Amino acid sequence: MMADVLERATRWREDGLSFLADVLTLPDDRSYGHSLDDWQRADFEAAFAEPAKHLWWERPRAHSKTMDVSTMALHHLLATPGGRVYFAAVDRDQAGLAFDSLRGFVLRSPLLRGSLTLDRWRVTAESTDSRLEVLSADAASSWGLRPSLLVLDEFQAWRGEAAEEFFHALYSSLGKVKGARMIAGTTAGWDRTSLCWKLRQQVESDPAWIFSRRGQCASWIAADFLEQQRRLLPEHVYRRLHLNEWTEAGGAFLTYAEVEGIFASMMCQGQERECQMGDHFLGVDVGLSGDATALVVVHRHDDATVDVHDVATWRGSRQERVPLSEVEDWIVDADRRFSGLRVVADPWQAIGLVQRLRERGVKAEDVTFGASYRDHLFRNLLELVRERRLRCYHHEGLKDELLNLEFREVGGNLRVDHPASGHDDHVVALAMASLGASSPPPKRGDIFWAGGPGPYRERDY
């Protein structure tokens, strides 16, 4: 098997596309090289052309970025004697996706299985004395490497001091090996002060680089899926992820204008004029020490508008936890003040509270706060805000949390979350109460943005 690889290595160096066609296969056993879209083939032809240059591949989400840069890494590993390939990602989650793509190619090919050794985060080719390692910015120091090929995966996510130091350590090492090259695969970002934007501005017209930017063009992504994503995602997020456009709105879940519109009415906290009419819903997000416990009461009108009638907050600390007895008493009193009150709570840290409320005659239900439920929460919240059906009196804490919500990728899936240094306690309580008030409720099996079944999945690695 090793002799067979050595015999073919010369051909692969001269004709890289033959490596894609003859050796690599997709999960459904189709030849990878024979299944390329025209735009992919054009990118690979430019990548394999002489003289070799650095590559910038900027593509929409699910356009085979990780799989295609994995292809280049494996080709280099088997066609370059003494090659040292470093496949770099911003964190272990993304690094894991990259290694899964590499591993899949190896396991699906008898030739590669017999000539490559797979270890944790490493692939070794004895035939060429070459080695490939998958690194992440949160790994140990990357100074001192001598790469012949650097692959940067999802480069727009490389933000923060640790990621910048990681990049500078890798980039500065390129001069150690003659002919060393870099491949950067990324989706468009938003931060014009970011490392990705700064490098992009330099390489777009640099003769040492081949710059490729693609819009929505993959044959495996269905039009109805894109239309669904357009409806459910904030506009600026859709444009960035699926049209590959650099936007100004950042990773924000909501724009400033959308949040301002929520607080534009002249409502007052705990207003009484409608409190005895119709059903009310109370969302409970319990945090005992590091996070706050937040309660939000909403009322749904016949026209599907949702008003926030009251918000209550308790903040605990390591020294003094939130007194749940006070929270319980507040809810019991709210049950008296607001007609038809129904309580919705996450059982994490609140299961005892829910049981005691039921014993005191309060209608309370607990929900499992998994990924699917979280998607329901924020999809419903987004629709309320977009359609200007959510109104609230001025509440600084809730407003700040709504403005700071981020849309980001976690393990290859999209997720709405607060920034590392922020909180979303009020937002979660509001979203839970609003979803409880939604009519009709979401259907089981609805597909949202966090990785539902899509026709693009075979290339989304």
Q: What is the pLDDT along the chain (461 residues), one digit of tens a residue?
A: 555 665 676 678 778 899 999 899 999 999 999 999 999 999 999 999 999 999 999 999 999 999 999 999 999 998 899 999 999 988 777 788 888 989 999 999 988 888 899 998 899 998 889 999 988 876 556 678 899 999 999 898 887 788 888 898 889 999 899 999 999 999 998 888 889 999 999 999 999 999 999 999 999 999 999 998 887 788 888 899 999 999 876 667 888 888 999 997 777 675 544 455 678 999 999 988 777 899 999 999 888 899 999 999 998 887 888 899 999 999 999 999 998 999 999 877 788 899 999 999 999 988 877 777 888 888 899 889 988 999 999 999 999 899 888 877 665 567 787 776 678 899 999 999 999 988 555 444 443 333 333 333 333 33
CB 460: neighbour CB atoms within 10 A? 19
Is there a shared CATH topology between the 2-221 domain and the 256-436 domain? no
- Dmax (CA) of the chain: 85
Contacts of residue 27, defined as CB under 8 A and 6 or more positions apart, other chains included, come to 104, 108, 458
The pLDDT value recorded for residue 404 is 83
What are the tokens at 438? 């939604």
CA 68 to chain centre: 19
The whole-angstrom separation of Cα 251 and Cα 139 is 25
Q: Which class would CATH give 256-436?
A: alpha beta
The whole-angstrom separation of Cα 407 and Cα 312 is 26
Query: Which of 148, 117, 152 is CA-nearest to residue 134?
Result: 152
Q: What angle do CA 85, 90, 93 make, to 5 degrees?
A: 95
DSSP state string for 249-293: STTBSS-HHHHHHHT-S---TT-STTTTSS-EEEEEE--SSSSEE
Answer for the pair 130, 77: CB distance below 8 angstroms, yes or no.
yes
The pLDDT value recorded for residue 2 is 55
How do the domains of the chain map onto residue ranges? 2-221, 256-436
Contacts of residue 437, defined as CB under 8 A and 6 or more positions apart, other chains included, come to 279, 281, 298, 299, 300, 306
Q: Which stretches within 367-457 are classed as H helix?
A: 371-386, 396-404, 425-436
Element (H, E) at 41: helix 38-48
The pLDDT value recorded for residue 458 is 34
Q: Is 208 exposed, middle or buried (0-12, 13-18, 19+ CB in 10 A)?
A: exposed
φ/ψ of residue 394, rounded to 5: -65, 125
* Rounded alpha-carbon distances, angstroms, from residue 41 to 18, 109, 360: 12, 21, 67
φ/ψ of residue 311, rounded to 5: -135, 135
Q: Which class would CATH give 2-221?
A: alpha beta
The pLDDT value recorded for residue 114 is 86
φ/ψ of residue 342, rounded to 5: -125, 130
The whole-angstrom separation of Cα 294 and Cα 300 is 20
The whole-angstrom separation of Cα 290 and Cα 268 is 29
Query: Please, what's the b/e burial string for 32-71 (b: 16 or more CB within 10 A of its CB; e: otherwise)?
Result: bbebbbebbeebbeebbeeeebbbbbbbbbbbbbbbbbbb
The pLDDT value recorded for residue 4 is 63
